[in-house]
Structure formats: structure tokens, C-alpha cells
A and B are shown apart, each in its own frame.
Chain A
Amino acid sequence: GAVVSQHPSRVICKSGTSVKIECRSLDFQATTMFWYRQFPKQSLMLMATSNEGSKATYEQGVEKDKFLINHASLTLSTLTVTSAHPEDSSFYICSARDQVRRGAAKNIQYFGAGTRLSVL
């Protein structure tokens, strides 16, 4: 079964509103989680590294004020798309790594099922 849960799976919102996406590790603790976005038929682009108890690390070119990340517990990271616009419409996916048990040495990342955001 899924080891990383992502919610919601789909959201449609009006331009200018903010949308929060949750990513949970289900039976392991994750001090770091990762957020990606993916456009149709394209690659996954790493947006940021979410760090439990500290600030997220953003990739070059990603607006930190636009994509707010909070990692308040060892099992939950949230991504908030603020003042969303149509160009923010995309597939957002999170991932986490079980550093202790499953596949830690193999650098196995477990991905959530993704959130499809459509901004009207």
C-alpha cells in the first residue's frame, strides 16, 4: 500500500486564491520531504526540499513567497500555492525517503499520488 499520502488529489480554484496541499508519510518519520511539479508529458522538476523544524530549501528559480512550505512534524509537509494564477496549474507531487527501514541504502523515494491543480 501507499507509504506517502497526498491530499487533495485534485483541486480547482479561482485565480488569486491560495491552495494548500498536504503530504504525509504514513508509517515512517521523514525529516526531509521533497516537492516536485510536473507539466503534462514532461519531467518532474524539483521545487524544494522541506526540512522538519526549519526553513525549506528552494531550487533556483522557484519563488519561495509563491510556494510556501511548512514541515511542522516528522510526518507532514504542506505546500501552499499563494495567490494562484493559471500558469500555476500543474501536477504537484511530494516524496519522502524512509531513512531507517525501507530501501534507505538504495535511496528509494516514495512518491505521493500527486495533486492536480487547475487555476481558472
Chain B
Amino acid sequence: GQSLEQPSEVTAVEGAIVQINCTYQTSGFYGLSWYQQHDGGAPTFLSYNALDGLEETGRFSSFLSRSDSYGYLLLQELQMKDSASYFCAVTRGSTLGRLYFGRGTQLTVWP
């Protein structure tokens, strides 16, 4: 099995920086992904880490430490449209695509 822990809610103001942490316990860890989901919508890919270190994609960055079973998503220059749920998900084994999701973090961005 697997378990993932991430905060349930985070709030911030426009222009701020937010970090959403994710700790995981799983066998056969292969990589950590981050997805964004607006209410009632499809999850959309944000970032993926298979190796330790930082991945940067525009305003979003993700970090992974395999030895600590820990990762985070960093959102910079927050905008109102970033208000959504953010999920970390682990891939176990080499079957890419089998994602096991955390419970999600609801981010609310205030003006």
C-alpha cells in the first residue's frame, strides 16, 4: 500500500509564494507528480520528479528528496486563478501512469 500526507488547506494573497508539502510512504517508489484540479474539472499536470532536486516550470517548481520521502510544490507570484486543489501523487513500479494520489490541498488565493 501507500500513504501520502499533505495539508488540507492553504490560503495566501495574490503575488505571494506558497509551498505545499507532501510526505509519502510507499513501496516501489518511482516518482512524485503534482496535479491541479479546479472544482468539477479534470486534473491537469503540473510537475514530476523522479530524481532528487528541483524542477522548475514557470511559476511552479517541485522538489523531491527520495531519502526523506518528501516533496513539495512551490507556487510563486500567486494569482486568483491558482485557487484550486493540488494533489501530490506517487508512481509505484515502472508502470508509469498508475498514480496514487494524496488527499489534496485546497489553495485559496485572496486579492
Known contacts A42-B103, A43-B87; decide if A49 and B43 are in contact (CB<8 Å).
no
Known contacts A43-B101, A43-B103; decide if A107 and B91 are in contact (CB<8 Å).
yes
- How many B residues have CB within 8 A of the partner chain? 24
Min CB–CB distance A91 → chain B (angstroms): 8
Q: Mark A100-120, 1 if CB is under 8 A from B, else 0.
A: 000100111111111000000
**Complex CA distance for A109 and B102, rounded to whole angstroms:** 16
Is A111's CB under 8 angstroms from B44's CB?
Answer: yes
Is B42's CB under 8 angstroms from A93's CB?
Answer: yes
- How many A residues have CB within 8 A of the partner chain? 23
Is B96's CB under 8 angstroms from A97's CB?
Answer: yes
B-side contacts of A113, CB under 8 Å: 41-42
A46 within 8 A of B: yes
B-side contacts of A45, CB under 8 Å: 101
A-B contact count (CB 8 A): 62
B-side contacts of A95, CB under 8 Å: 43, 97, 99
Binding site for A on B (CB under 8 A): 31, 33, 35, 40-45, 48, 50, 87, 89, 91, 95-104
Inter-chain pairs besides A43-B103, A46-B98, 19 sampled, C-beta below 8 Å: A43-B87, A43-B101, A44-B43, A44-B99, A44-B101, A45-B101, A46-B99, A93-B42, A95-B97, A106-B48, A107-B33, A107-B50, A109-B45, A109-B97, A109-B99, A111-B42, A111-B43, A111-B44, A112-B42
